[in-house]
Amino acid sequence: MPGKKSNQPVLELRVALTVLDFDRSVKFYCDGLGIEPSQFWDENQGRAVVLDMHSATLEIFDEKQARTVDQIEAGQRISGQIRFAIQVPNIEAAIQRLLDNGAVLVHAPVMTPWGDYNARLQDPDGIQITLFQKPDDPE
């Protein structure tokens, strides 16, 4: 296998979204999160963008944990099988940018038992998004 060798078993996590309205979703995530695409394809096979979000983790919840987190962040079990959690430096500014680009506010920010400020939104295709800000992040 060509490329750089590493002792890490996984080098990158990518999540691929298939969306109903490509342009709307690109605007939502790029403008709403304030990031530029790192790669763009616009060919006969279709269109795609890659958005570099720096680091990624994969969280796996059982139903009880999903219900607990949804109850804290949204007041009820509301998210589907997939929910994004995105750390931002300023939660209020990020909420406003996403709302300006088509998000629906599900629940205003709350202080979680683990010490983060979390807010719940929904993207234009109905995907639940948790925005979180650590209390020591600059505002």
Q: Show pLDDT as tens, one digit a residue, over the chain (139 residues).
A: 455 666 878 878 888 999 999 999 999 999 999 999 999 998 888 999 999 988 888 899 999 999 999 999 999 999 999 999 999 999 999 999 999 999 999 999 999 999 999 999 999 999 999 999 998 855 5
Q: In CATH, what class is 22-133?
A: alpha beta
Query: What pLDDT is stored for residue 102 in this prediction?
Result: 96
Give the residue among 94, 100, 82, 89 at the shortest CA–CA distance from 119. 94
Query: What pLDDT is stored for residue 76 in this prediction?
Result: 95
Q: Name residue, tokens 């993207």.
A: 123
Token readout for 111 is: 């202080």
Contact 106, 122 (CB under 8 A): yes
Contact 72, 112 (CB under 8 A): yes
- Give the CA angle between residues 46, 55, 3 to the nearest 5°: 70
Secondary structure class of 38 (helix, strand, coil): strand
Measured N-to-C along each axis, helices 22-33 and 91-100 cross at an angle, to the nearest 10 degrees, of 150
- Which regions of the chain does DSSP assign to beta strands (E)? 37-43, 46-51, 83-87, 104-111, 117-122, 128-133
